[in-house]
Amino acid sequence: MDENNLRTDGNMSREQSCFAQDEGSDTESEQTVTSSSSSSASSPMPIEDLGPVFNVKGIRATADSSVLTFRISRIDDPEIRDSWWEVTRSYEEFEAFNRLLVDCQKFGGMIYPPLPPPLTSKYEENFAEAPIIHRKQIERYLQMVALHSTLGRSQALADFLSPTYVIAEKTGRKGLFAKLAESFAGSSQPAKVPLRDIEEFFQNERDWSANYSIHLKTTLNAVLTVIHSEKKIIGQLKHLCTALSMNAPSSYQQETSRIHHQLHSKMADSFLSIQDLTEDGLQRGLCDFYCIWDLYLQYLANEQLMLNRRTALLINYENANRNWDKAKAHKRDEVLSFLLFLATLSWHFSSL
């Protein structure tokens, strides 16, 4: 596979990435307008394919899940669909990419896939499954970006998934959305807007997401408690297997000792099988359930943030219109007074 077809310029700065994305979108718009104007109504232009460009799959990570490796492939080109390459990214690079992704978008009203917070700020240090859950959440975040109809075709994502990608900066300029998101950090719910939305659909969506988030968070806390309990059960099974192995008789001369040894061995094997089944169910069941729904809880928080911003902007718009009407009424009175003065002055001069 030709690497020149897969790799983009990794040294492109953040401003250049945004400029390249804007320039590409403007060029596509001009081409669409030109083609539409030249074509007849009977032969419309085909709708652009909005399917995903990249396929992302996590393959390995460090013990603390701070550095992750992904397998990337392009699925929009049939000729290179079976080719793939690996990229390794740190959480610091994910943070820079998330800021770049938000800042490069020119239009508002988009709900961005939530980047999971750092591991140490969310889980207990002695929770062994925390790195696994964090790795799966990061993988799911990158897959959601790749599947997005707009973000999945951005130049920022293409640069980030390139094998030659180099982080442009460690602390970049944060956009309005990122600043608002940071202002709600540390709270379980986004800031509430005191007034209702003027449209019933958006107000119902606000109410539903707020109530659903509360119940979902309660459920996730209960699931986390079950995960901790199963970890304790696994630990007790390990101790029990060790105790049965250590208490096995050392002499097999007597028939009773031999039977005793066989019984201990079979019990140890049984407990070991139960331990393996419990660990497998924990990894494939509860941990997957927790990481997916915890990520969805963060997505709901982003949705509430966007809906609250919409309501706040509408309130500001109504206040501006109200102030404008007051200003026009005040100016109208001044104009009428001035016209009355001119009419009086004209009548006075005409009477002379």
> Any bridge partners for residue 271, and if so which?
none
Cα separation of 44 and 41, whole Å? 6
Task: Cite the DSSP H helix spans in 188-286.
Answer: 200-246, 255-281
Mark whether 139 and 230 lie in a shared domain: no
Mark whether 159 and 305 lie in a shared domain: no
CB-based contact 174:99 (threshold 8 Å): yes
Say what the pLDDT of residue 3 is. 43
Supply the CATH number for residue 120's domain.
3.30.1520.10
In a domain, 202, yes or no: no
**Which pLDDT tens digit goes with each residue over 23-65?**
555 554 444 444 444 444 444 544 455 678 888 888 787 776 7
In a domain, 238, yes or no: yes
In a domain, 155, yes or no: yes
**Residue 75 tokens, joined:** 């699925």
Rg (the chain; Cα; Å): 31
Helices vs strands, H then E, count in the chain: 9, 3
Domain count of the fold of the chain = 2
In a domain, 36, yes or no: no
Mark whether 145 and 19 lie in a shared domain: yes
In a domain, 324, yes or no: yes
In a domain, 214, yes or no: no
> Any bridge partners for residue 86, and if so which?
71
Task: State the residue range of the domain holding 74.
Answer: 3-23+49-183
Mark whether 126 and 8 lie in a shared domain: yes
Mark whether 177 and 229 lie in a shared domain: no
Mark whether 232 and 136 lie in a shared domain: no
- Among 307, 300, 293, which Cα is nearest to 113's? 300
Mark whether 234 and 159 lie in a shared domain: no
Say what the pLDDT of residue 192 is. 54
Q: At what angle do helices 14-38 and 91-103 cross, to 10 degrees?
A: 40
Q: What is the mean pLDDT of residues 304-326?
A: 82
Cα separation of 134 and 238, whole Å? 26
In a domain, 139, yes or no: yes
Say what the pLDDT of residue 248 is. 58
Say what the pLDDT of residue 115 is. 86
Mark whether 63 and 173 lie in a shared domain: yes
Q: What is the mean pLDDT of residues 101-118?
A: 76
Mark whether 8 and 151 lie in a shared domain: yes
- The overall pTM is greater than 0.75: no
Mark whether 13 and 149 lie in a shared domain: yes
Mark whether 266 and 176 lie in a shared domain: no
In a domain, 143, yes or no: yes
DSSP state of 69: E
CA angle at 48 for the pair 45 and 53, rounded to the nearest 5°: 160
Mark whether 176 and 270 lie in a shared domain: no
pLDDT > 70: percent of the chain: 64
* Residue at which a domain ends, from 130, 161, 183: 183
